[in-house]
């Protein structure tokens, strides 16, 4: 992999990732007359729950679902300058122009998986998916080393139902100045289990899923180095957790064998999601990497994993977070996890 770093017209960093580390990457000047990036985020802590909340009112004016011929994530062309001042790229990462986190409150980056506006991650080949994994890993390493960063979160939102503001295949990378509420709860549960039993809860959950009898299994895919399963208490109609079989803290510590197998397994999962419903549109989803905090006691017991879920519960119905979920965080799932796993096995793309 080759990484090339340069700056956009307003000073934001942009990085190009190329598969061939010997490839020549021309750096093109961003000639747009841009103002300084919007800023002003504030991190507040809920006094009753203890959770951190980011207040980012400056994001109200961000770009919202522009037409394809005006997409800011496509390569620049003659007469139309985008966020990526190059005629082509493989994978590109740049600082968000409308960041939720910036400066002392962290950093937000956009990662573009492909220059092709009309495709999706599921349609990438394994080589490109491996390059995206390399970019996620590189960004995790660099952002983790920044002063004040406590956790790095790589994720993709896809589909208007999820609330995306840009249709181009892309994800985001957040460097948080705090440990996120979801991770904080995981760490507390895992620590309590360690104190009570001496074991690692992540490892035991994975072992239990892999040991389920065939007729009741929630395992969707089992590779030599990765296992994908629907969790026992899934919150979403179709939700899959993808774990490396050897526990590791984050993407930077993933071994070479797991890196090599990941593209095949992950692409297969995404393609199965697109086969779940008889609809012409791709299935909307959130794909979220859960990584250990940068430092601290909880890092040693954490397990890197990816959580993939969709808000669609049938071909014509969505799962809304209504009164119980939004008001009390008490999830009600309309699809039995074992049935969801069976359906995901049924729609294998091979």
Please count the other Cβ atoms lying within 10 Å of the Cβ belonging to residue 12: 19
Is the Cβ–Cβ distance between 303 and 250 less than 8 Å? no
Is 305 part of the annotated catalytic residue set? no
Quickly tell me which residue has 């409308």 as its tokens: 98
Q: DSSP string of 244-287?
A: ESS--SSGGG--HHHHHHHHHHHHHHHHHHTTSSS-SSPPPEEE
Residue 197: phi and psi, rounded to 5, are -120, -20
CA 173-177-181 angle, to 5 degrees, is 85
Whole-number Å distance between alpha carbons of 93 and 154: 12
Q: Which of 230, 196, 189, 175 is nearest to 345 (CA)?
A: 230
- Strands 305-310 and 238-244, by their bridges, are antiparallel
Given the residues 28, 117, 168, 170, the one annotated as active site: 170
Interacting residues of 172 by C-beta distance below 8 A, sequence separation 6+: 96, 108, 109, 110, 111, 154, 155, 156, 157
SS3 295: coil
CA–CA separation, 156 and 154 (whole Å): 7
CA–CA gap between residue 124 and residue 263 (Å, rounded): 9
Closest CA relative to residue 149, chosen from 13, 294, 34, 321: 294
Cα–Cα dist 130/19, whole Å? 9
CA separation for the pair 71, 80 (Å, rounded): 10
Known catalytic residues are 170
């Amino acid at each position: 992999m080759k990484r090339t770093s340069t700056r956009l017209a307003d000073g934001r960093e942009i990085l190009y990732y190329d598969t061939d580390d010997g490839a020549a990457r021309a750096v093109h000047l961003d000639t747009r007359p841009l103002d300084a990036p919007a800023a002003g985020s504030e991190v507040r802590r809920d006094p009753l729950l203890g959770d951190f909340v980011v207040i980012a009112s400056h994001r109200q004016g961000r770009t919202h679902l522009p037409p394809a011929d005006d997409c800011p994530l496509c390569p620049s062309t003659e007469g139309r300058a985008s966020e990526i001042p190059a005629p082509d790229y493989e994978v590109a990462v740049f600082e968000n122009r409308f960041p939720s986190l910036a400066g002392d409150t962290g950093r937000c980056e956009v990662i573009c998986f492909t220059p092709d506006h009309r495709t999706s991650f599921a349609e990438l080949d394994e080589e490109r998916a491996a390059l995206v994994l390399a970019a996620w890993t590189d960004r995790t390493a660099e952002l983790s080393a920044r002063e004040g960063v406590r956790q790095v979160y790589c994720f993709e939102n896809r589909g208007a139902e999820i609330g995306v503001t840009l249709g181009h295949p892309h994800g985001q990378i957040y460097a948080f100045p705090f440990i996120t509420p979801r991770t904080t709860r995981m760490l507390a549960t895992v620590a309590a289990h360690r104190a009570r039993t001496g074991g690692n809860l992540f490892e035991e959950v994975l072992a239990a899923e892999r040991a389920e009898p065939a007729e009741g299994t929630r395992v969707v895919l089992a590779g030599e180095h990765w296992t994908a399963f629907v969790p026992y208490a899934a919150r979403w109609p179709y939700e899959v957790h993808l774990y490396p079989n050897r526990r590791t803290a984050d993407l930077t510590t993933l071994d070479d064998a797991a890196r090599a197998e990941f593209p095949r397994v992950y692409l297969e999962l995404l393609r199965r999601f697109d086969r779940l419903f008889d609809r012409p549109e791709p299935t909307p989803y959130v794909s979220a990497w859960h990584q250990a905090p940068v430092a601290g006691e909880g890092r040693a017991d954490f397990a890197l994993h990816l959580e993939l879920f969709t808000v669609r519960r049938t071909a014509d119905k969505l799962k809304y977070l209504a009164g119980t979920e939004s008001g009390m965080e008490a999830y009600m799932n309309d699809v039995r996890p074992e049935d969801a796993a069976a359906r995901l096995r049924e729609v294998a793309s091979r």
